[in-house]
Structure 1
Amino acid sequence: MSGGDGEERRFPWGPAAASGVGSMPGTDVREAVKTVTGSLEGPPHLPYVPELPARGPGADMLGRTAGMLAEMYVHQEPSGWRISDRPGRDTRRARTWLGEDLDTVEELTQGYEGPLKVSAVGPWTLAAALERRNGEAMLGDPGAVRDLAGSLTEGLGAHLADVRRRVPGATLVLQLDEPSLTPVLQGSVRTASGYRTYDAVDRAVVEGTLRGLVEAHAGPVVVHSCAPGVPVALLRRAGVAGISLDAGLLTERDDEMIGEAVEGGVALFAGVVPGAGDDEGALSDPAGSVGGVRSLWRRLGLAAGLLTESVVVTPACGLAGASPAYARRALAHCAQAARSLADNPE
């Protein structure tokens, strides 16, 4: 697959691409997969394996990823997900949900050739959320975090191999969801008591752990966070292929980091469409939705051709809180907005 300049493309998706973040509304996985593949059908877009957290524990992003862990198990407590000694009902339920999802993806993507995005919670958000047996987050124990990262790396390898077997024509893009990454770096993740916080983790340790996961995956890795203050420079140094964020939270103070990342070959997954709502106006003007991205490009002085090459248009965050009708319109709107960038990149 080649870009307009005749060089090999940097990304498996095409120019002027659109995608989603991951979660979808409702409990019907067939409907969700049909929505994703229908709204993002054909090149240049990036369809994805949807998540349906409304089904309950184990289908949420934390439980789903915990079910992927290798030789590490979880169960649910009133306070959240906690590490277990052996696989129990909650681990089995998470794995069952995931298996049903992949069965449906396999059935509805027969003959598909192209990029396919697969999501999992990243190691630092997982460490901030999963509890040790004493009820404190794994984040408070560096050794536990290292074990967790190793388990996640091994588990993700097996999961991605399963997806490749089921959809052999797909080029897999791994998305790591890291909404807690900034709090981890800032030392603002609260302990179980709520009266204090865990120490900030050294940036070099955070970067090294993420780099280990990036290097273990034989394909592009995108990190997503819809929280403010995404550490763009750190993620670039960790070797990610793309950074997915809420573009509405960017300020001119972020310009330099964004510019360096894009010029360094990192894709910007720009969240420009609200993840939920009934405001028809938010979905009435595709070109207007990416006006802020165009303004960013002008401020950075980047080439117009790089805009369609480097930007993937997405909702600002997951669509789990939306209605199914809104989710369909939002993804179609992202595809139209991405096309508007290609038609009028200036």
Structure 2
Amino acid sequence: MSETQAEDDRVLWGPATGVGSMPGGDARETAKTVTGSFEDFPFLAELPARGPGADMIGRTIGMLVDLYAHVEPSGWRISDRPGRDTRRARSWMGEDLDALEEFTQGYEGPLKVQAVGPWTLAAALELRGGEAALGDAGACRDLVGSLAEGLHEHLADLRKRIPGAQVVLQLDEPSLTAVLRGHVRTASGYRTYRAVDRQVVESALREVIAVHDGPVVVHSCAPDVPFALLRRAGVSGVSFDFSLLTERDEDTIGEAVEAGTKLFAGVVASADGPLSDPGGSVMGVRTLWRRLGLNPGTLAESVVITPTCGLAGASPAYARAALAHCARAARSLADNPE
């Protein structure tokens, strides 16, 4: 990789960013924290503590086109028309966008936004009878189409608000592996939905990815992230909990890196606790690079440092410290790749 290519890549991605969720309910304070922590790769934060509609499922449901849902004790369920819960989700999204726009005046560079991917959404969204959309192939197809259209509109709105941003779309898919393996439980809890064919999964992901003309990252903080499938679907990057990697993941990670896929390595704990020195946080990444025989000079261009998962469950003080720690760890990785 030439120096010019490396510089272009840094502009596109930035060295560190957050996963998505943050604690508390103050959109302006959160936007100020996020943009201050990641001056070269901010993200549109989610604040699930505000309640239904601010959670990641409800937030994405608010983006859907011609599909609506409301909150039941068991979760989100399909509705005939938009109701209070959908309106609340859209209102909070507007509030979050307003806050981010305020703190990114004149900003030019990468900006990450998150939405739940089609398969985690299908596993979580209930049809009228109470079973998940995942169990109905037709409902899944409708959901994919609605999500794609809604994301297209959401991204267009974001570009109008922050015209200098190079938007990176993150699809959150923590249930993806369970969908592929047939481990998602039915409403009764006594059985599971049939595993979805890998080609069907890949095709749906590709359809959603195609709505964005910029980079798309898929995030999962679950074990056994399907790196190879995601790469075939056309993702530009994969975001994951680095501590959950196993030896069987290493070959597919090496192949992904060599093919140009970016690794969003979650190395900073998402729950309150002591933070190690920045160099220690990325030691495992350096070790993996050596074990795979990859060029140390490409490390900083191939890896974006993040927390292991969202920070909604952390204290506000720890969340701020974790974001700052990610930025310092990324600098350590760039300054000392070997």
TM bracket, shorter-chain basis: over 0.9
Match of 1:79 among 65, 74, 77: 74
1:201 positional shift:
0.3
Percent identity for Structure 1 against Structure 2 = 72
One-letter amino acid of the counterpart of residue 3, structure 2? G
Correspondence 1:222 to 2:220: no
Instruction: Name the CA distance, whole Å, in 2 between partners of 1:198 and 1:6.
Output: 45
- Pick closer, same or farther for the CA change 1:12–1:199 going to 2, 3 Å: farther
Instruction: Name the CA distance, whole Å, in 2 between partners of 1:21 and 1:106.
Output: 19
TM-score (norm 2): 0.98
Q: Which residue of 2 aligns with 1:18?
A: 16
Instruction: Name the CA distance, whole Å, in 2 between partners of 1:336 and 1:8.
Output: 19
Correspondence 1:336 to 2:328: yes
Q: Which residue of 2 aligns with 1:243?
A: 238
Q: Which residue of 1 aligns with 2:25?
A: 27
Q: Which residue of 2 aligns with 1:285?
A: 277
- Pick closer, same or farther for the CA change 1:26–1:8 going to 2, 3 Å: closer
Q: Which residue of 2 aligns with 1:269?
A: 264
Paired residues of 2:6 and 2:301 also in contact (CA < 8 A): no
1:82-121 matches, within 5 Å, as 82-121=77-116
Paired residues of 2:169 and 2:215 also in contact (CA < 8 A): yes
One-letter amino acid of the counterpart of residue 123, structure 1? P
Instruction: Name the CA distance, whole Å, in 2 between partners of 1:149 and 1:13.
Output: 27
Correspondence 1:259 to 2:254: yes
Instruction: Name the CA distance, whole Å, in 2 between partners of 1:8 and 1:342.
Output: 12
TM-score (norm 1): 0.95
Q: Which residue of 2 aligns with 1:296?
A: 288
1:82 positional shift:
0.3
Runs of at least 5 residues in structure 1 that lack an aligned partner in the other structure: none
Correspondence 1:130 to 2:128: no
Match of 1:47 among 18, 39, 42: 42
Instruction: Name the CA distance, whole Å, in 1 between partners of 2:10 and 2:89.
Output: 31
- Pick closer, same or farther for the CA change 1:191–1:12 going to 2, 3 Å: farther
Correspondence 1:9 to 2:45: no
1:65-214 matches, within 5 Å, as 65-214=60-209
- Write out per-residue CA displacement over residues 254-288 of structure 1, whole angstroms, 9 at most, x where no aligned residue: 110000001011000000011011x22xx231000
- Pick closer, same or farther for the CA change 1:157–1:3 going to 2, 3 Å: farther
Q: Secondary structure at the match of 1:13?
A: helix
Instruction: Name the CA distance, whole Å, in 1 between partners of 2:258 and 2:337.
Output: 17
- Pick which of 209-218 and 2-11 moved more: 2-11
Correspondence 1:315 to 2:307: yes
1:11 positional shift:
6.4
- Pick closer, same or farther for the CA change 1:8–1:209 going to 2, 3 Å: farther
1:73 positional shift:
0.4
Correspondence 1:306 to 2:298: yes
Instruction: Name the CA distance, whole Å, in 1 between partners of 2:8 and 2:29.
Output: 32
One-letter amino acid of the counterpart of residue 138, structure 1? A
1:3 positional shift:
5.9
Instruction: Name the CA distance, whole Å, in 1 between partners of 2:5 and 2:236.
Output: 20
Instruction: Name the CA distance, whole Å, in 1 between partners of 2:231 and 2:5.
Output: 25
One-letter amino acid of the counterpart of residue 133, structure 1? R
Q: Which residue of 1 aligns with 2:36?
A: 38
1:305 positional shift:
1.6
Instruction: Name the CA distance, whole Å, in 2 between partners of 1:209 and 1:7.
Output: 32
- Tell me how large the CA RMSD over aligned residues is: 1.3
Q: Secondary structure at the match of 1:131?
A: coil
Paired residues of 2:120 and 2:175 also in contact (CA < 8 A): yes
- Write out per-residue CA displacement over residues 32-59 of structure 1, whole angstroms, 9 at most, x where no aligned residue: 11111001113xxx21000000000000
One-letter amino acid of the counterpart of residue 21, structure 1? V
Paired residues of 2:13 and 2:304 also in contact (CA < 8 A): no
Matched positions, count: 338
1:189 positional shift:
0.3
Structure 1 stretches (4+) deviating beyond 2 angstroms?
A: 5-15
One-letter amino acid of the counterpart of residue 328, structure 2? Q
1:344 positional shift:
0.8
Instruction: Name the CA distance, whole Å, in 2 between partners of 1:291 and 1:168.
Output: 37
Q: Secondary structure at the match of 2:144?
A: helix
Paired residues of 1:153 and 1:213 also in contact (CA < 8 A): yes
- Write out per-residue CA displacement over residues 142-168 of structure 1, whole angstroms, 9 at most, x where no aligned residue: 110000000000000000111111111
- Pick closer, same or farther for the CA change 1:12–1:205 going to 2, 3 Å: farther
